[in-house]
Amino acid sequence: MAKRDPIYGLMAEFDSAQALVDAAKKTHESGYKKIDAYSPFPIEGLAEEIGMHFDEIPLTVLIGGIIGGCTGYLMQYWMAAVDYPLNIGGKPPHSWPAFIVITFEMTILFAGISAVLGMLAFNGLPMPYHPVFNVPRFALASKDRFFLIVFSSDKRYNPVETRRFLETLDPRSISEVPS
């Protein structure tokens, strides 16, 4: 008996964007949480229907900005008041109004860097290979077809039951996606 490759998931192909959105909504409502959709153009509301939330990036940017602001302020405080204090014109070594500009710039710099790095990390990039490209019909995803995949890592995934469920969505075809 030949050894089978592990399955990445089951992929259903649809003819229209509305059919994909309807199928995604029914799939998510039926309890499948690890699903994804592919289309040749952005579809309004599709991300919400598959249960995708974008909560990680704003928090990452906020934390990066706070770290950058604290770093900028503390760096200036250390240099001006602790490491090399100078009495210039009778000003105190810890003159916080002079620190505002650099503190602001460091906040923006760290927030921007954390946005880029967070986006790369949370999107799983760089990703030179993805298992969905093992399905020959997936090449049409960039032309005129719409695809919905249920990942095999989903708690509710069962090869037979998931295939039956996807067939009720009236897809054009259903394919197994090998890993």
Number of neighbouring beta carbons within 10 Å of residue 160: 7
* 2 has a pLDDT exceeding 70: no
**pLDDT band, very low/low/confident/very high, at 87 (cuts 50, 70, 90):** confident
Q: How many whole angstroms separate alpha carbon 93 and alpha carbon 84?
A: 9
100 in a structural domain: yes
Q: Which two three-digit tokens encode residue 70?
A: 């604290």
Residues 154 and 105 in one domain: no
Report cis status (omega within 30 of 0) of the bond before 131: no
**How confident is the model over 29-48, as pLDDT tens digits?**
999 999 999 999 999 999 99
Range of the domain at 173: 8-53+131-178
Confidence (pTM): 0.74
Domain endpoint, select from 86, 104, 122: 122
Instruction: Provide Rg for the chain, Cα atoms.
Output: 25
Q: CATH number of the domain at 149, please.
A: 3.30.70
Residue whose tokens read 């014109």: 89
**How confident is the model over 105-149, as pLDDT tens digits?**
999 999 999 999 999 999 888 888 889 999 999 988 988 899 999
- Tell me the average pLDDT of the chain: 92
Q: Are 68 and 110 in contact (CB under 8 A)?
A: yes
E strands, the chain, in order: 7-14, 35-38, 146-151, 173-178
- Contact partners, residue 112, CB within 8 Å, separation at least 6: none
Residues 64 and 117 in one domain: yes
93 in a structural domain: yes
**How confident is the model over 41-68, as pLDDT tens digits?**
999 999 999 988 778 899 999 999 999 9
Angle at 160 (CA atoms; ends 132, 144), nearest 5 degrees: 35
**What local confidence, expressed as pLDDT, does residue 3 receive?**
57
Domain count, the chain: 2
